[in-house]
Amino acid sequence: MQMTKKEEAGSIIKKAVDQGRKALSEYESKQVLAAYGVPVTREALARTPEEAVQAASRLGYPVVLKACSWQIMHKSEGGLVALNLGCEDDVKKAFDRISGRLSGPVDGMLVQEMVSGKRELVVGMNRDPQFGPCVMLGLGGIMTEILNDAVFRMAPVDMLEVEDMAGQLRCKKILDAFRGDGPVDREALFRCVSGAGQIGLDRETVAEIDINPVLVSSDGSVKAVDALIVLA
């Protein structure tokens, strides 16, 4: 019998736990998130420059290339991300450049669609030892730690609770039509927050989820551009 998407997500988590790992890779994290309805970027894992080029051709240029490993938490700081690659030659050069900066083994290179937007949000889940999974919605990107604009709720959350969370943000105006861009897709934003919470409820071995940024495109659509699931 074929497994459901959530069962497949559980298998990914169980395999990592059995291996004694502390986290999932970005690729694995997004597979789990997608199984719970979180909108994520289209992407593929490539182990050679040729596979990366093939993946980029399927996704459509421009693309992003990232080193992919559960042990790499901060890819940008290590020069392990290449943005806005517009052709086959760009992908091959970026693959070689990033490979030369690696200090250990990786799963491969993550080839990801290049999405753009002026607005960045963060969605998360943290397991409180007393109360259980707690979800978070806030201003994302580099502003997360600087402005500390975030709202928390205990999981599970419904649409009204996520709307209330959004309404309590100091930056709440960016969720509406903003500088020529459309209003944020509230249903998709709800799926991000509720999905993160439901993973916490379903999978006790998941300690934290960090989806940052959740990028808002000009039409208001949202996608998880980067994500990390930390294991208990």
How would you write the pLDDT of the chain (232 residues) with one tens digit per residue?
788 999 999 999 999 999 999 999 999 999 999 999 999 999 999 999 999 999 999 999 999 999 999 999 878 878 999 999 999 999 999 999 999 999 888 999 999 999 999 999 999 999 999 999 999 999 998 777 777 899 999 999 999 999 999 999 999 999 999 889 999 999 999 999 999 999 999 999 999 999 999 999 999 999 999 999 999 9
Q: Where are the beta strands (DSSP E) in the chain?
A: 43-46, 63-68, 81-85, 108-113, 119-128, 132-139, 150-154, 206-216, 222-224, 227-231
Q: Tokens 């497949």 sit at which residue?
A: 8
DSSP 79-136: T-EEEEE-SHHHHHHHHHHHHHH-SS--SEEEEEE----SEEEEEEEEEETTTEEEEE
165-184: pLDDT as tens digits: 999 999 999 999 988 999 99
DSSP conformation class of 174: G
Q: What is the dihedral of CA 179, 185, 189, 190, to 10 degrees?
A: 140
What are the backbone dihedrals phi and psi of residue 75, each rounded to the nearest 5 degrees, phi first?
-75, -40
Q: What is the pTM of this model?
A: 0.95
Per-residue confidence (pLDDT) for residue 19, from 0 to 100 = 97
Helix axes 5-18 and 26-35, enclosed angle (nearest 10): 150
Per-residue confidence (pLDDT) for residue 36, from 0 to 100 = 98
Per-residue confidence (pLDDT) for residue 220, from 0 to 100 = 97
CA–CA dist 58, 61 (Å, integer): 9
CA 198, distance to chain mean position in Å, is 16
CA–CA dist 144, 31 (Å, integer): 24
CA–CA dist 219, 225 (Å, integer): 16
User: Please, what are the domains in the chain?
Assistant: 43-113 (3.30.1490.20), 119-231 (3.30.470.20)
Per-residue confidence (pLDDT) for residue 231, from 0 to 100 = 98
Per-residue confidence (pLDDT) for residue 178, from 0 to 100 = 86
